Structure 1
Amino acid sequence: MLLEQANDGYKPLTPVPTTAYNGTLIKGALTPHRTAYRMDFHDALAEDIRNCAARLLAEDVGPVDITAQLIPESQVSRARVISREPAILCGVAWVDELFRRLDPRVALTWHAADGDRIEPDQPFLELEGAARSLLTGERAALNLLQTLSATATRTRHFVDQLEGTGVQLLDTRKTLPGLRVAQKYAVACGGGTNHRIGLYDAFLIKENHITACGSIEAAVKEARSIARDLTVEVEVENFDELEQALAAEADMIMLDNFSLDDMRTAVERVAGRVKLEASGNVDESTLKAIASTGVHFISSGALTKDVKAIDLSMRVIEVQEDNRT
């Protein structure tokens, strides 16, 4: 992701990851969304970078970093950030914005970009500036980097399992609180594809919606009346519901917790009339088997909700007095 610095933060520029949200749920698969319901992902991303950086500093620094006061105000330091394990990097713009807000004089030099693979002990970021500022921003920056990089890394592991199958890997709304947009971006950096960003940009009619509306047909009909050009996806749990969703002319059907044999049968029955998404009991050990059934998409909440933070470390490598004027 190329970024430009502005007075109010960072604005994403092209090129962006090819799987990033682009006004459709899934690139090349679903219909464009009505403008009134659509949040441009670039705008959402720029806003999230600003807000997230401010939020992280507020919760960690509070009124003052009292431990940093032990260090002379004039002291300047250089520091390096490394990973202790292989990872896919994600979160560059958020860290840039965090230090811009904390102390604009801190210089950051990145040796890797979002989506790049980093190896153990490889210095991928160097910082130079007031020692107080480096240490004050350290934990907030690492917390975000390790979470977004973990999301991108887990996604890449899943995507690698699907290589050559033609099946697209989708994320879900099962994101960590407050990190929806950031984790969606991380999924794209890992090679995954963004499903809907939130509740506003597509219909996903699930069991409780069907119960409340009375039937799949009624739910789909009502969705069309509300926003005709938004994608309508229906979650089904059995073949009877599958036939109802087909009859209602849903744009996409989610097969919820279907067995492998039932997925194959569903693919045969649908015969290419709509796109099929497999969901439930998805992990790295089941991906290839699910892909072999003929579904178009596999979605997994594990990409964002079950991530294990990447082990990152920042070390001060040089200390000197500030001779800058």
Structure 2
Amino acid sequence: MFTFFPLSNNTRERLYVGGLDPDAVAAVVRAAVTEDLLGGVDVTTVATVAADQRSVATFGSRAEGVVAGLAVANAVIEAVCGDGASEMEYLVDDGAWVSPAQDIARVIAPTRLLLTAERSALNLLCHLSGVATLTRRWADALDGTGAVVRDTRKTTPGLRALEKYAVRCGGGTNHRMALSDMALVKDNHVAAAGGVAEAFRLVKSLEATIRVEIEVDSLAGLAEAIDAGADEVLLDNFDVAG
């Protein structure tokens, strides 16, 4: 079984400042690397690379876009190599717009361990940067309108906090993080409760201070949601005409 190292205080602080739980990120990192090794070792690297070799690796962008997840990528490298054995230089910050072929980070570490960590680090960095880039394009399209881009709970299992972090890096705004921190009354709930107003009342009777959003699919439903006292309304599949 592979032995993982703890994250450095610097990396933990970077993650925390970004609104991420360092221990949760470390768990994602361990799961990713464990999946990649599947109980063994990186046989190609161990066979071909000297145990005492060290290398410098440069992370670069292949296309323009928003960077997100540099500290997450470094968490992979630190967990595999150890804080004392690796060192990352951040050349840009998360949220930065970068050009094609631009260097974004540089790391020095034992070559064997660096290559073992490489794919997991790049998978997370590329995925999060893709989410951030698409969010930025939508946010830019809405610039000056007063509207904001909000995300959903339709996230990759196990990666919700990271993907929602990437949305923030791209200029978007997080919707609810979980089922427990805000109520969203949908058609199934309305049917079970016997109506919009009753569904709203039942939610408030359980959690008096929780914000309640109600999903509607018609203007009549919108009026009903407003009359019930909804804090927010989700317009489901509306066209411009309503």
Q: Residue in 2 aligned with 1:151? A: 131
Shift of 1:13: 4.8
* Cα distance in 2 between the residues matched to 1:239 and 1:98: 49
Q: Give the TM-score normalised by structure 1.
A: 0.68
* Cα distance in 2 between the residues matched to 1:215 and 1:118: 50
> Which of 49, 68, 77 is residue 55 of structure 2 equivalent to?
77
> Which of 131, 143, 146 is residue 163 of structure 1 equivalent to?
143
Shift of 1:75: 1.2
Does residue 183 (structure 1) correspond to residue 185 (structure 2)? The answer is no
Q: Residue in 2 aligned with 1:10? A: 12
Is this contact kept in 1: 2:16–2:22, CA < 8 A?
A: no
Shift of 1:127: 1.6
Q: Residue in 1 aligned with 2:238? A: 258
Higher helix proportion: 2
Higher strand proportion: 1
* Cα distance in 2 between the residues matched to 1:234 and 1:222: 13
Q: Give the TM-score normalised by structure 2.
A: 0.90
Q: Residue in 2 aligned with 1:48? A: 24
Q: Residue in 2 aligned with 1:321? A: none
Q: Residue in 2 aligned with 1:87? A: 65
Distance 1:46 1:249, change over 3 A: same
Q: Residue in 2 aligned with 1:302? A: none
Does residue 108 (structure 1) correspond to residue 85 (structure 2)? The answer is no
> Which of 41, 45, 52 is residue 68 of structure 1 equivalent to?
45
* Cα distance in 1 between the residues matched to 2:179 and 2:59: 37
Is this contact kept in 1: 2:69–2:129, CA < 8 A?
A: yes
SS in 2 for 1:136: helix
Query: Over residues 139-172 of structure 1, what are the superposed CA-to-partner deviations in whole Å (9 max), with x where a residue is unaligned?
Result: 1110000100000000000000011111111111
Identity across the alignment (%): 36
In structure 1, runs of 5+ residues without a counterpart are 17-41, 263-325
In structure 2, runs of 5+ residues without a counterpart are 1-6
Is this contact kept in 1: 2:8–2:78, CA < 8 A?
A: no
* Cα distance in 1 between the residues matched to 2:186 and 2:106: 47
* Cα distance in 2 between the residues matched to 1:5 and 1:106: 10
- Say how many residue pairs are matched: 231
Counterpart amino acid of residue 22 in structure 2: A
Shift of 1:240: 2.2
CA RMSD of aligned residues (A): 1.7
Q: How does 1:111-260 map to 2 (within 5 A)?
A: 111-260=91-240
